[in-house]
Structure 1
Amino acid sequence: MSESHLIEPHGGKLMDLFVGEDKAEALKKEAVDLPSWDLTDRQICDLELLLTGGFSPLDGFLRKADYDSVVETMRLADGTLWPMPVMLDVSREFAEDVTTGTRIALRDGEGVVIAILNVEDAWEADREKEAEKVFGTTDNAHPGVAHLLENTQPVYLGGRVEGLEAPTHYDFKHLRETPKELRERFAKSGWNKVVAFQTRNPMHRAHQEITLRAARQLEANLLIHPVVGMTKPGDIDHYTRVRCYEHILRRYPEQTTHMSLLPLAMRMGGPREAVWHAIIRKNHGCTHFIVGRDHAGPGKGSDGEDLYGPYDAQEMVKEYAEELGIEMVPFQMMVYVKERAEYAPIDEVGEDETALKLSGTEVRRRLQEGLDIPEWFSYPEVVEELRKTHPPKHKQGLTVFFTGLSGSGKSTIANALMVKLMEQGGRRVTLLDGDLVRKHLSSELGFSKEHRDINIRRIGYVASEITKNGGVAICAPIAPYRQTRREVRAMVEEVGGFVEVHVATPLEVCEARDRKGLYAKARKGIIKEFTGISDPYEEPENPELVIDTQDCSPEEAANRILLKLEHLGYFR
């Protein structure tokens, strides 16, 4: 392992995996002839924290022995406490030519070589087992489980990494500090006690009250340390959040509080993740760490029950307190006590007092519907910032996504809806019809499952861009596979509204309408992999609207969709 020679209070030894300038230049030349892996956003986050020491004592992606031990026992193979797997996952095709000793150039989205991986292990892991052990469930409603089982490549590579340069960030450069830089800042400022606050959401008055209380109780300085890597799908984007943090930072006493951004890809792993976060904050030079209610919790599972208990994270951090090297500051939920006009822990509210609180879901609902957010909950400047990037539904962009068998009537209804929306005005409307997309965007693709998925993802990407910029995208592909439709929904819902319309016209009706003779050719085997005949159509599980064109005209169907959009708040 390469360790920095800087051994500072409260953090222990800090890994520094960057090579010197001369060696970096030599490795860049060598990388031209090495196999290259284009890193995902998650992998870039992990690699950055490996290189800068945020994941100390790791010197690279976990080898198999370490991985197996972490999954089973929350410890590396040598016994060191480490609760979360940090893996480089790659495709089987890429892994075919990888053996022990292979050196791989790890590149960012622009092709820049960030690091070299010296492969020591390559294997296919049991990801179902990993999900059960690490997250305590295989329920896909858990975002960490969903990513692991649906989006993680099957082969893991482990080994030491050599850093050539840090990933490039063009945003909030003045707020991005490495563990070493933060330690040096604390030492220079004489901050001997530093309590860290982790957040992936905007901060409101309750959060400020928690952090102020913690700092005052400990007579410590405060580090606001928000995650700006990957968080939970549906979370407010980090650009908006950081602007909110900057507003609220001005509400703290001068010279007591500092903010720095953490490029962490969260797993929403609840108790295990809380222990991980504590280690990461220790590496950044903090002495104390606030753990609140349902820390890093993903919410509810498919059965409607909470995936983790409200204070499970606190219990696990307490369990490992002696060896963590950082002290936990536990907090209960803070509520606004109407009679006192102040915040208090929920267990300190008397029976004759009124406790007021707003959930994150309720805040998002009020933003979407343009409703009031009370001043006791948040500062006006924070609410104003949220409203800028999260306008009410009737001002948002929107995707209407049709899915159904060939001949079900999708394109006809989509055209009718487009005309009605253009007649109504207010938003620009774009039709992404299946046949038109095939002609102009996906002409090189065939009809294998892989190519169909690529085609639908392309449609989803274009729709998300239209939606992000305030327009209405009407998509009318067959889109036969549930998982791909879920991916498109997630892509669009990050930036606006998504309404799925299942055109559920029965197969026999679609076949009888077949003007192009496609079903007949599929029955004869002339057309291979034809949806509904030789390839499955997976019906939507929870579409916003189901239409059977046997019992309604295209105009009636379009009108039903308009009424649904109005009911959902997208039009007034």
Structure 2
Amino acid sequence: MSSRVLSVKSSLIEPDGGSLINLVVPDSERLSREREASELPHVKLTQIDLEWVHVISEGWASPLKGFMREDEYLQSLHFNSMRLKDGSVVNMSLPIVLVIDDEQKAKIGGSSDVGLIGPSGDPVGVLKGIQIYKHNKEERIARTWGTTAPGLPYVEEVINPAGNWLIGGDLEVFKPIKYNDGLDHYRLSPQQLRKEFDKRQADAVFAFQLRNPVHNGHALLMNDTRGRLLEMGYKNPILLLHPLGGYTKADDVPLDVRMEQHSKVLEDGVLDPETTVVAIFPSPMHYAGPTEVQWHAKARINAGANFYIVGRDPAGMSHPTEKRDLYDPDHGKLVLSMAPGLEKLNILPFRVAAYDQKEKKMAFFDPSRPQDFLFISGTKMRTYARNGDNPPDGFMCPGGWRVLVQYYESLQAEETSKPPTVVSV
């Protein structure tokens, strides 16, 4: 397939592979491509599959042009990177694959192409020049997460229930992926983000990913990073505040609530709207620690960011069966500083922020007076909001906190309104 590439480039950093991949067919060709696809055997996508189609089609995974064939999959799984035809190496730490079962494999038969159908039955695209190969779930899980312990959210949701075959090929998408949830205007593609950075005349772009509401400790880190870049001689560093918008585990705060909370942070002036771009990163979340944080950093290269902020235990989670962190909290930033294919990205490790009970505000942790600092984890923050308790003054802007409290109040109202379960003996 001769995929189109975009000439749009921010002057700050080139996309991986040199050109930004765009796999959406031109409007003038869409109807004819859809008609051709209707004659093909098809694969029905899950919602998370569709999120990966979105990721691939917009070029977040450039230079990947579709779901991985076996050689790409093995390089990703074993080396966290892919070697291109010119000998250069790009980072690719997460396998981006499409799974099918025995029945779907039989229906595809000897066809070289398959149509892709969305979760609601609408035609999404075509996978061309396909290759079907074995899905060794145990190896994939062990190498991606470093454990096969039960209870890993993405594994339980996506991998364990899925089939025993992977299908790779070149992707064509009929039209841009939209979710019609009131948030599509935040889903800026890498091409759109690069144009926005150039429009703002950015001479540095620093990306910050999170999947939690923004508290004043996060804001301290982001504002401090901008100050550091100004001290380094940059004149107009722009922050890309880039929350993850794909699949997240059940106890994470939903995307719409997070986006409303983020808007309050800008309204309250905690972050400067003039120097901040807020957009949604459409990738699903794996919670795979140092392996996954490489993917998060690599994707931001394609969006035009040349600096990436990394903190404690990025993309990490608690061990699913033991009372400990699944990953060493320092390994994410260490891995990013050494990862193959990320050499052109500037990694900015940040200092730990906590609530300074003496100064009544979020501040960088001072090891000379540890007794003065209160660490408020995401879990603790959600517990405060769920119980209707207020965090210490200065932890989060009032408008942002109200959004969280109202969300948990609505959850409790839903629980209260549910009819009781009747068990007959």
TM-score by length of 2: 0.90
After TM superposition, list the pairs within 5 Å mapping 1:137-536 onto structure 2.
Answer: 137-170=147-180, 171-219=182-230, 220-250=237-267, 251=269, 252-320=271-339, 323-346=342-365, 348-351=366-369, 354-391=372-409, 395-398=412-415, 427=416, 470-474=417-421, 476=423
C-alpha contact 2:8 2:194 (8 A) present in aligned 1: no
C-alpha contact 2:356 2:362 (8 A) present in aligned 1: yes
C-alpha contact 1:335 1:344 (8 A) present in aligned 2: yes
Structure 1 residues 156 and 342, CA gap change in structure 2 (3 angstroms): same
Aligned to 1:60: 66
Q: Could you report, residue by residue, the CA deviation over 1:237-266 in whole angstroms, capped at 9, with x for unpaired residues? A: 111110000000232234111101111111
C-alpha contact 2:100 2:166 (8 A) present in aligned 1: yes
Letter in 2 for 1:23: E
C-alpha contact 1:11 1:286 (8 A) present in aligned 2: no
Where structure 1 has 5 or more consecutive residues not aligned to the other structure, the ranges are: 399-426, 428-469, 478-553, 555-572
Letter in 2 for 1:241: R
Q: CA deviation at 1:100?
A: 5.7
Query: Secondary structure at 2:421's aligned position in 1?
Result: strand
Letter in 1 for 2:391: I
- Paired with 1:352 and 1:92, the residues of 2 have a C-alpha distance of 57
Among 11, 14, 22, the alignment partner of 1:11 is 14
- Paired with 1:298 and 1:147, the residues of 2 have a C-alpha distance of 16
Aligned to 1:38: 44
Q: CA deviation at 1:228?
A: 1.4
C-alpha contact 1:211 1:222 (8 A) present in aligned 2: yes
Among 80, 91, 111, the alignment partner of 2:90 is 80
Q: Could you report, residue by residue, the CA deviation over 1:361-411 in whole angstroms, capped at 9, with x for unpaired residues? A: 222222232222222211211121112221288x4444xxxxxxxxxxxxx
Aligned to 2:233: none
Where structure 2 has 5 or more consecutive residues not aligned to the other structure, the ranges are: 231-236
Query: Secondary structure at 2:43's aligned position in 1?
Result: strand
Query: Secondary structure at 1:335's aligned position in 2?
Result: strand
Q: CA deviation at 1:301?
A: 3.1
Q: CA deviation at 1:338?
A: 2.2
C-alpha contact 1:339 1:353 (8 A) present in aligned 2: no
C-alpha contact 2:90 2:340 (8 A) present in aligned 1: no
Q: CA deviation at 1:84?
A: 0.4
- Paired with 1:218 and 1:300, the residues of 2 have a C-alpha distance of 36
- Paired with 2:27 and 2:324, the residues of 1 have a C-alpha distance of 53
Q: CA deviation at 1:3?
A: 4.4
Q: Over aligned residues, Cα RMSD in angstroms?
A: 2.1
Letter in 2 for 1:57: P
Q: CA deviation at 1:122?
A: 0.7
Q: CA deviation at 1:345?
A: 2.7
- Paired with 2:370 and 2:45, the residues of 1 have a C-alpha distance of 56
- Paired with 2:100 and 2:361, the residues of 1 have a C-alpha distance of 51
Structure 1 residues 158 and 385, CA gap change in structure 2 (3 angstroms): same
Which segment drifts farther, 250-259 or 319-328? 319-328
- Paired with 2:136 and 2:83, the residues of 1 have a C-alpha distance of 18
- Paired with 1:331 and 1:356, the residues of 2 have a C-alpha distance of 18
Letter in 1 for 2:166: Y
Query: Secondary structure at 1:382's aligned position in 2?
Result: helix
Say whether 1:130 aligns with 2:140: yes
Q: CA deviation at 1:211?
A: 0.9
- Paired with 1:65 and 1:130, the residues of 2 have a C-alpha distance of 14
C-alpha contact 1:178 1:284 (8 A) present in aligned 2: yes
- Paired with 1:82 and 1:271, the residues of 2 have a C-alpha distance of 13
C-alpha contact 2:60 2:302 (8 A) present in aligned 1: yes
TM-score by length of 1: 0.67
Query: Secondary structure at 1:15's aligned position in 2?
Result: strand
Aligned to 1:23: 29
C-alpha contact 2:90 2:342 (8 A) present in aligned 1: no
Relative contact order (C-alpha < 8 Å, sep 6+): which is higher?
2
Query: Secondary structure at 1:151's aligned position in 2?
Result: coil
Letter in 2 for 1:137: T
C-alpha contact 1:120 1:159 (8 A) present in aligned 2: yes
C-alpha contact 1:143 1:232 (8 A) present in aligned 2: yes
> Greater CA radius of gyration, 1 or 2?
1
Q: CA deviation at 1:287?
A: 1.0
Query: Secondary structure at 1:309's aligned position in 2?
Result: coil
- Paired with 1:370 and 1:281, the residues of 2 have a C-alpha distance of 36
Q: Identity of paired residues, percent?
A: 24
Structure 1 residues 282 and 396, CA gap change in structure 2 (3 angstroms): same
C-alpha contact 1:321 1:328 (8 A) present in aligned 2: no
Structure 1 residues 162 and 324, CA gap change in structure 2 (3 angstroms): farther
Letter in 2 for 1:237: P
Query: Secondary structure at 1:226's aligned position in 2?
Result: coil
